[in-house]
Structure 1
Amino acid sequence: MRVLAGYVIDGKSSGIDRYLLRVLEVMKAQNIQFDFLTNHKTPELERIFGVYHANVIEMPSLKHPTKQYRFVYKLIKQNKYDIVYFNISEAFNGLGVLAAHRLGVKKIIIHAHNSKAGGSSALVRLVRTWIHKMFCPVLACAATDYRACSTDAGAWMFSSKIRQSSRYQIIHNAIDNTAFEFCDEKRMQMRRNLGIEHNVVIGHVGSYNYAKNNFFLLDIMEALLPIVPNAVLLAVGAGADWEAVKKKAGEKGLLNHIKFLGVRDDVPDLMQAMDFFVLPSRFEGQPIVAIEAQAAGLMTFLSDTITKEAVLSENCMQLGIENGGKPWALAIKNHLSYQRKTSQKDLFKGSVYDRVMQEKQIHQLFMEEK
């Protein structure tokens, strides 16, 4: 069997990338050749996916939609894929679905991973939302199967008729919760390595873009430092706004209180070093990192714009972003006495985030006949 899947970025920072690596891990025992589409192929990306003998194929970007469509059409025609599997945030990202439909691919899967349109300005977001709504019914007619990472993501991409059909299913972003179990020895080691042994450590992991609302982290720190002077923020990630956030932090005099760590492959260990985790996103599909933070036993604060499906435990709260960073700072101060548990495994056993359940859903996705 041969599968064409998209789209991957760097194999690390994107939630979609991490989910697709999970798919490869689950399906590695099956006789399936996976090919992954990307806008920018790098040796590191090839190495990460090459571990599973998967190919990474660079395609034209959406800045050239006609070129991208023709490229994907030719690729599908040449390789005669049995399944195409497009993991997308907006309907316009799924031009390959139309190519697959035109070529008569038997199984065409759309998997929704976001709940709103992104963009650098209100006008861009408005235009992208309009294009998305125009393309949704077109893609729906071209696909055979429909998946979403959350209820909100499903409502953003698919009609109520599709969501009530047998071809639709939510696949929640399960994680290996054992990798995040609290270990005091590892915590002390990481804090020594980072020079934050005596600090109150706030953590944030994610892409740096409009949806993630990363500038809000600076608002939180500005409000927090007068009441918790030894607070420090660990900023992990990358993206279009990364340098701008760093520059703004310098202008606000916050650089001594923020460690900009970039993209890391040791997020579970970094979470050991943290005391709190914050995710003030404007919108999400279903943030894997929020689940990971709770698995690590961190006191976790999410914006109330994120789906409630991401709240698993009593150590997770949702806060508004419309009133600035002060309510977040006060929430952190009010939970300074919070004590982490060694294990959070009971949160996951039998839940929609249980890896066993997700494995069954992934197997069904690829092995079940249309």
Structure 2
Amino acid sequence: MSPIKILQIFTVLNKGGAETNLMNYYRNMDRSQFQIDFLVHRETGFFEQELIKSGSKIFRLPPILPWKLKEYKKAVKTFFEEHNDYDIIHGQCSELGVFIYEEAKKRGIPVIIAHAHNAKMDRDKKLLFRLMWKKRMRKSINAYFTCGKEAAENLFGKNLARHSYQMNNAIEVEDFQFNQEVREKKRKELQAEETINLVNIGRFNTQKNQSFLLEVFAELIKRNKKYKLFLVGQGELESQLREKAKQLKIEQDVAFLGLRNDVPELLQAMDLFLFPSLHEGFSVAFVEAQTTDIKAVISDGVPTESILIPENVTVIPLKNSAQQWAEKIAEIHNFERKNVAALIKEKGYDIKENAQKLEKKYKELVKQYKKNPYVISS
């Protein structure tokens, strides 16, 4: 029996939340049953070499720009003229996949999935177009995937959200379970054995709100010189963040670690996970952090449904000042960490179990829509 052919749609295959989540599933699926390829909109990303070595193909489109839509649509049409044998299109870039969904529907591809990742939309130069595309795309998709309830309602509307399949942002739980020896070794490696280590993981962009985090950290340093901040990630605002750290005179206490392969060990070494995001869907990084049993301070822009261990999490409103955030963070002191792997698995975030569920869902969708393709009306 031929494998089910799936085309995953991404902007770029870097270490963002959606990409990391998909890679977790990819590594745990039976790829003798599934051929998984990728259609991306930028140059080479972090995960591409691994994917190619594993037998996946990677195709490229130009970026989707409102002022170059004619060129973009032509590229999409050309792609499907050459590659029209997929069983499933799985769009991981929300409403930005609208023209891919439309062309795939014209070509008779059985299953067209849009995947909701964010509970709110970025207020960028594409906002008005995104709002139009969000409604328009619903006519061309017949499967609705999400990381959580709020993200589903944002992308699909409340009616269609009720039909959505929750593809949990699951992780390799054993990789992140707390280990004191790993903690001590990594703290020594980071030269952070005597400091109170704070960490933020995420792309350096407006949504993740690291600029405000630097202001909070500057207030913390006034209270206690032992604090140190580690920022894990990359992004378009990195140079601005580095400059702001200099302006606040905290650059000696802020470490920009870039993209990392040792996130499980880094989280072991930390004392607090800080997450002041303006909005989230269901963050993979936050699931990973909670699995290490670390204390976390998050904004009210992070959905409450993503809080898996409530006693470890402090929620602070985004409207509060940097000083108020610092006061709350300063109240959190040393605590004993334990192995919470069993609890995280019980909550439903173990990747092995979830990968099996996704395999089953893909098969069900192909069986259903090859016989009777339809779109649930809004």
TM-score normalised by the chain length of structure 1: 0.92
Task: Map Cα deviations across residues 242-292 of structure 1 (whole Å, 9 max, x no partner).
Answer: 110011101110111101111111111111110000010001111111111
1:195 matched to 2:191? The reply is yes
**Per-residue deviation, 1:8:** 4.9
Q: Is 2:57 aligned against 1:55?
A: yes
Aligned-partner residue type, residue 7 of structure 1: F
Q: Any conservation in 2 of the 1:26–1:362 contact (CA below 8 Å)?
A: no
Query: How far apart are residue 237 of structure 1 and its match?
Result: 0.4
* Partner SS, residue 109 of structure 2: coil
Q: Quote the residue 2:376 is aligned against.
A: none
- Show the 5 A alignment for 1:8-157: 8-12=11-15, 14-42=16-44, 44-63=46-65, 64-79=68-83, 80-89=85-94, 91-119=95-123, 124=125, 128=127, 130-157=128-155
- 1:361: Cα distance to partner? 3.1
Which residue in 2 is equivalent to 1:295? 291
> What's the CA shift for 1:19?
1.6
Instruction: Measure how far apart 1:131 and its partner are.
Output: 2.6
The residue correspondences of 1:106-255 to structure 2 (distance < 5 A) are: 106-119=110-123, 124=125, 128=127, 130-165=128-163, 168-255=164-251
CA contact (8 A) 2:272 2:294 kept: yes
The C-alpha deviation readout for 1:280-307, integer Å capped at 9, x for no partner, is 0001111111111110111011111111
Tell me if the contact between 1:45 and 1:56 (Cα under 8 Å) persists in the aligned partners: no
> Which letter maps to 1:81?
Y
Cα offsets for 1:136-180 (capped at 9, x unmatched): 232111111111111111011112221233xx2122211112111
Residue in structure 1 matching 2:344, options 332, 348, 352: 348
* Partners of 2:342 and 2:150 in 1: CA distance: 25
| TM-score normalized with structure 2 length | 0.90
User: Shift in Å at residue 199 of structure 1?
Assistant: 0.2
Residues matched between the structures, number: 359
Q: Which runs of 5+ in 1 are unaligned?
A: none
| Cross-structure match for 1:275 | 271
Deviation of 1:357 after TM superposition, in Å, equals 4.5
Judged with a 3 Å threshold, the aligned counterparts in structure 2 of structure 1 residues 36 and 107 are, in CA distance, closer, same or farther, namely same
Whole-angstrom CA distance in 2 between matches of 1:171 and 1:2 = 19
Contact 1:216 1:324 in 2 (8 A): no
Helix, strand or coil for the counterpart of 1:142? Answer: coil
Separation of aligned partners in 1, 2:186 and 2:346: 32
Whether the aligned pair in 1 keeps the contact of 2:173 and 2:341 (CA below 8 Å) is yes
Is the 8 Å Cα contact of residues 178 and 268 (structure 2) preserved in structure 1?
yes
Q: Output the CA distance in 1 between the equivalents of 2:243 and 2:161.
A: 43
CA separation of 1:345 and 1:169: change in aligned 2, threshold 3 A: same
List per-residue Cα deviations over 1:19-66 (Å, max 9, x = no partner). 221232232343322221222232854312124211121211012333
Residue identity opposite 1:306 in structure 2: V
Task: Note if contact 2:86-2:109 (Cα within 8 Å) is conserved in structure 1.
Answer: yes
Deviations 1:100-147 (A, max 9, x none): 011111111111111222245xxx3xx61x333322232111111111
Q: Which runs of 5+ in 2 are unaligned?
A: 369-378
Q: Taking structure 1 as reference, are residues 234 and 23 closer, same or farther at Cα in structure 2, changes over 3 Å only?
A: same
Quickly say closer, same or farther: Cα 1:262–1:44, change in 2 above 3 A: closer
RMSD: 1.8
| DSSP-derived class of the 2:91 partner | strand
Give the counterpart of 1:319 among 305, 316, 320.
Answer: 316
Greater length-normalized contact order (CA 8 Å, ≥ 6 residues apart): 2
Task: For residues 325-352 of structure 1, give each alpha carbon's deviation from its aligned partner in whole angstroms, at most 9, with x where no partner exists.
Answer: 22332222212122211x1113223323
1:324 CA displacement: 2.1
